[in-house]
Structure 1
Amino acid sequence: MEVALETMSMDAIMRRWPKTIRVVLRHHMLCVGCPMAPFQTVAEACRDNGVDRAVFLEDVRRVIEDGPG
């Protein structure tokens, strides 16, 4: 079953898959440590940070699929 990343909060994504923090930082997003991260979806965070959502999600999925490490 594929996880619907688009509906998860940025905080939930970073907590479930800590390696995604690197992706967030690489896209110059301010979500790490942000008090809004538990409430912001991927779409909202990308919009607020001026990041292409499709590219961001592709990068996040790639990191998740690579597994732990």
Structure 2
Amino acid sequence: MRWRKDRSLPGGYGGCLSPAQEHAAMAASSSVAKMTIADMTMAELMRERPAVVPVLLRRGLACPGCAMAPFMTVREAAEAYGLELDALLDDLAAAGSRPAPSLEGTIKCDCV
């Protein structure tokens, strides 16, 4: 066991956690993150985590540019496209943890 200060645990602070308790706490926080992503609309997801757009396109989702993106959740999109939700969430979480590529200097517009 080891002492741990962890604000994500109930009450704000952890105490002595066994390895099993620590693993359970980590798994719970991971499942909360997955649940949160699953309940976001596709438009929210793409706006807040632009690095996920290539993942969506690779998996055959037409969400970028779709009129339903502001209304359909990630969970609903996975169901509509026949994708396994947990696998999609894992891919989205992995992409969301990487920084989005910079587009600075690649788009030039003289239309203003």
Compute the TM-score of the two structures, normalised by the length of structure 2: 0.56
Q: Which runs of 5+ in 2 are unaligned?
A: 1-7, 9-31, 102-112
Structure 1, unaligned runs of 5 or more: none
Runs of 4+ in 1 over 4 A off after TM superposition: none
Q: Secondary structure at the match of 2:38?
A: helix
- Give per-residue Cα distances to partners, 1:19-55, cap 9 Å, x unaligned: 1000100110111111001010111101111111111
Q: Work out the number of aligned pairs and report it.
A: 69
Indicate the percent of aligned positions where both proteins have the same amino acid. 32
How far apart in 2 are the matches of 1:26 and 1:53?
15
Distance 2:77 2:55 in 1: 13
- The structure with the largest alpha-carbon Rg is 2
Q: What is the root-mean-square deviation of aligned Cα atoms in Å?
A: 1.6
Find the aligned partners of 1:68 and 1:31 in 2 and give their Cα distance. Answer: 18
CA contact (8 A) 2:50 2:100 kept: no
Is 1:54 matched with 2:86?
yes
RCO comparison, higher one (Cα < 8 Å, 6+): 1
Pair 1:43-2:88 in alignment: no
Q: Normalising by the residue count of structure 1, what TM-score does the alignment of the two structures yield?
A: 0.88
